[in-house]
Amino acid sequence: MRYGFYLPTRGPTATRDGVLALAREGERLGLHSAMIADHVVFPVESQSAYPYTVDRKHPGGGDALETFSILGVVAGATEKLRLVTSVLVLPYRNPVLTAKMVASLDVLSGGRVTLGVGVGWLKEEFEALDSPDFDKRGAVTDEWIAIFKHLWTRSPASFAGQFYKYTDIRCEPFPLQKPHPPLWVGGHSRAALRRTARHGDGWHPVGAIAASPLPPQEMVLHLETLKRLTEAEGRDFAALTISYKAPLYDTGIPDRDGTRRSFSGTAQDIAGDIRSFGAIGVHELIFDFRGQSTADSIGRLQRFAAEVMPLVD
């Protein structure tokens, strides 16, 4: 099993020192991937439903470091960590410029970029960025993916789509990874599974929906659906990377009333959950160790590495 962890993008730990300290410690401890979320602006008030809390409300705030800026800083300060967007909202950015930025980062990082992609959920952010129509964001995302693959493998290149076109352009250098950096599709909806089956090199679902973790048996159903869809596209399901964003609860919380949420309880409990998810086909588990201070974040990461990882490995 491989492990990933989130870098801070918002709040008191989202500083140069905070980002680099956590990234370097995660690399030192042998974790595989560093995850960077994507927001550009936040509305003062929003009517958009947030998918990951019980009340469907976003926690709020207005601060967010930009994703590619974090990627560049961390790429220069580490040597082995995979650098993963988790996830980049594709309609927010010009597709040709985004393709160039990803390719450049892949070259300069030594081939360590994984592009996790999603369609987004915050309508007001789409409007502020003058992005394509929010209601067409799925089709736009599919077209942007096609443009990326086109520009990363052909020169000169021409493209004529529903939302974007270009003729006889060169967009080099190509990414270091061949044929291109891995593309992981975020989300667990049917549309996300279809997009993974058609375009993705990996599936990157969120493990906590409305503050409740997806149990292994539900993940099995999603994976069975993804396998059918992938095979229907004439692609090899076994070639996909399954990277699951798991909710990590305090390892000191005891079981209550004989029930326990996945990834809660003792270190032994969490190690057992990790083995269970590995047994159903999950290749990488992503945990969020971010706390209210950099020291707290690093302490959580260190406890996981010292108390949980040896029990699995």
Residues 159-174 have pLDDT tens digits of 999 999 999 999 999 9
Mean pLDDT of the chain: 92
| CB contact at 8 A, 91 and 120 | yes
Task: Give the integer Cα–Cα distance in Å for 92 and 128.
Answer: 10
Number of structural domains found in the chain:
1
Strand partners, 116: 184
User: Residue 303: phi, psi to the nearest 5?
Assistant: -65, -40
For residue 236, what are the CA distances in angstroms to 184, 189, 197, 279?
15, 20, 9, 19
Amino acid at 222: H
Q: What is the rounded CA–CA span in Å between residue 208 and residue 198?
A: 25
Mean pLDDT value of segment 12-29? 98
pLDDT at position 62 is 76
Task: Specify the pTM.
Answer: 0.93
266-292 pLDDT, tens per residue?
999 999 999 999 999 999 999 999 999
pLDDT at 176 over 90: yes
CATH number at residue 81: 3.20.20.30
Kindly state the percentage of the chain with pLDDT values over 90: 83
CB neighbourhood size of 54 (10 A):
8
Under a CB-based contact definition with an 8 Å cutoff, are residues 92 and 123 in contact?
no
pLDDT of residue 217: 87
Q: Is 39 exposed, middle or buried (0-12, 13-18, 19+ CB in 10 A)?
A: buried
CA gap 126, 120 in Å, rounded: 9
**Residue range of the domain that includes 210:** 2-312
pLDDT at site 249: 64
Please state, in angstroms and rounded to a whole number, the distance separating the CA atoms of residues 14 and 84: 17
Check residue 257 and give its pLDDT: 54
pLDDT in tens, 200-215: 999 999 865 544 567 7
Calculate mean pLDDT across residues 91-98: 98
The pLDDT, as a whole number, for residue 31 is 98
